[in-house]
């Protein structure tokens, strides 16, 4: 594990991604301290004011400070990403572990259900579910998590199929250790490396999904600030208020890029073939 962290630190792109992710998390946590204004404060005299010293990112159609709303929007977007990915990882680990460990009809049933879920376009499946629910941040988190576990399940299943025949698992069985403890204590910790990568990349996807849903009016509802609903205001005023589209769009781009760079760096660090190649070159 420490070797993998050192490899990430030596990768300039992965290091840039990790630093950016750290700064975004810090901004989200310290939002009340960093935001210069109340993100919900309306001032009719400042409607659609261009970026200036007082309002670095300008104001929106209600005179609210865009910089403050984006800072609080980082908290919403990252919360959705973390919680949604947490839900998907839990479901995926359960399904993949049971399928890979027990095999047979359990594996067939679990994987056929996974295949069925993969047949549905994720974004349109989420739209269909949200249409029956009241749009809210918690519903968005749950729906994204429940509809994005399939990749994790496949990764965990593949790892379990490889690990369940290893000597340490056979030794645990010979000592009479139960299946539950073998799965949780012996196999699952050794199967988590690809899950870490999938989870980090999944946060980027969840942030993008939440922004898209909020942009369509089906995600986080105003006046709660979200990068997606700030973009919606930008769409309505694109000809006279460019800053409402540019700044939240750049924030989404930077966040997704940072998580992708970090995920790719961690994947390379955990890949033994790449590590052997680097060792041979050195």
Which tens digit of pLDDT belongs to each residue from 51-71?
A: 988 899 999 888 899 999 999
CA distance 70 to 29: 13
Rounded distance between C-alpha atoms, residue 175 and residue 131, angstroms: 52
Q: pLDDT band for position 1 (50/70/90)?
A: low
Residue 273: its pLDDT value, please? 53
pLDDT in tens, 122-139: 778 777 777 777 777 888
Give a yes or no: residue 82 inside a domain.
yes
Q: Report angle CA 141, 144, 149 to the nearest 5 degrees.
A: 120
Best CA proximity match to 35, nearest among 74, 93, 2 = 74
Helix (H, G, I), strand (E, B) or coil at 59: strand
Higher pLDDT, 10 or 107: 107
Condensed to tens digits (0 to 9), the pLDDT of residues 180-235 reads 888 888 888 888 888 988 898 889 888 888 888 888 877 788 788 888 888 888 88
Structural domain contains residue 128: yes
Main-chain phi, psi angles of 241, to 5 degrees: -140, 75
Q: Are 77 and 261 in contact (CB under 8 A)?
A: no
Give the relative orientation of helices 104-119 and 150-163 as an angle to the nearest 10 degrees: 150
By three-state DSSP, how is residue 181 classified?
A: helix
- Distance, CA of 191 to CA of 251 (rounded, Å): 33
CA end-to-end span of the chain, whole Å? 20
Any domain includes 50: no
Tokens, residue 1: 């594990």
Does any domain span residue 241?
Answer: yes
Share of the chain above pLDDT 70, in %: 93
Assign residue 157 the CATH number of its domain.
1.10.3720.10
**Domain annotation covers residue 47:** no
Residue 49 lies in a domain: no
Chain-centroid distance, C-alpha 107: 27
Query: Taking a C-beta distance cutoff of 8 angstroms, is the pair 89, 151 a contact?
Result: no
User: Does residue 51 lie within any of the structural domains?
Assistant: no
Bridge partners (DSSP) of residue 65 are 59
The residue range of the domain holding 83 is 2-34+66-281
Task: With a cut of 80, say whether residue 143 has pLDDT above it.
Answer: yes
Biggest CA–CA distance in the chain, Å, is 77
pLDDT tens digit string along 220-279? 887 888 888 888 888 888 888 899 889 999 999 999 999 999 888 888 777 655 554 444
In a domain, 107, yes or no: yes
pLDDT score recorded for residue 140: 82
What is the structure's pLDDT at 68?
A: 93
- Which pLDDT belongs to residue 265? 84
Count of structural domains, the chain: 1
């Amino acid at each position: 594990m420490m070797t993998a962290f050192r490899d990430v630190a030596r990768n300039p792109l992965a290091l840039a991604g990790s630093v950016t992710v750290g700064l975004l998390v810090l901004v989200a946590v310290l939002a009340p301290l960093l935001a210069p204004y109340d993100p919900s404060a309306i001032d009719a005299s400042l409607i659609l004011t261009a970026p200036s010293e007082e309002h670095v990112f300008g104001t929106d159609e209600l005179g609210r400070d865009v910089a403050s709303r984006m800072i609080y929007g980082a908290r919403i977007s990252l919360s959705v990403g973390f919680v949604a990915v947490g839900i998907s990882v839990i479901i995926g680990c359960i399904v993949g572990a049971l399928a890979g460990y027990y095999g047979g009809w359990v594996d067939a049933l679990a994987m056929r259900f996974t295949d069925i879920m993969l047949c549905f376009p994720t974004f349109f499946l989420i739209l269909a579910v949200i249409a029956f629910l009241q749009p809210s941040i918690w519903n968005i988190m749950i729906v994204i998590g429940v509809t994005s576990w399939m990749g994790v399940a496949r990764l965990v299943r593949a790892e379990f199929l490889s690990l369940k025949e290893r000597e340490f698992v056979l030794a645990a069985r010979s000592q009479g250790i139960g299946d539950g403890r073998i799965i949780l204590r012996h196999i699952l910790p050794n199967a988590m490396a690809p899950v870490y990568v999938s989870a980090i990349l999944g946060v980027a996807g969840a942030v993008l999904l939440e922004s898209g849903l909020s942009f369509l009016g089906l995600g986080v509802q105003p006046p709660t600030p979200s990068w997606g609903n700030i973009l919606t205001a930008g769409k309505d005023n694109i000809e006279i208020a460019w800053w409402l589209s540019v700044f939240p769009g750049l924030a989404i781009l930077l966040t997704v890029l940072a998580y992708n760079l970090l995920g790719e760096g961690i994947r390379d660090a955990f890949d033994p073939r790449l590590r052997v190649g680097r060792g041979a070159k050195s």
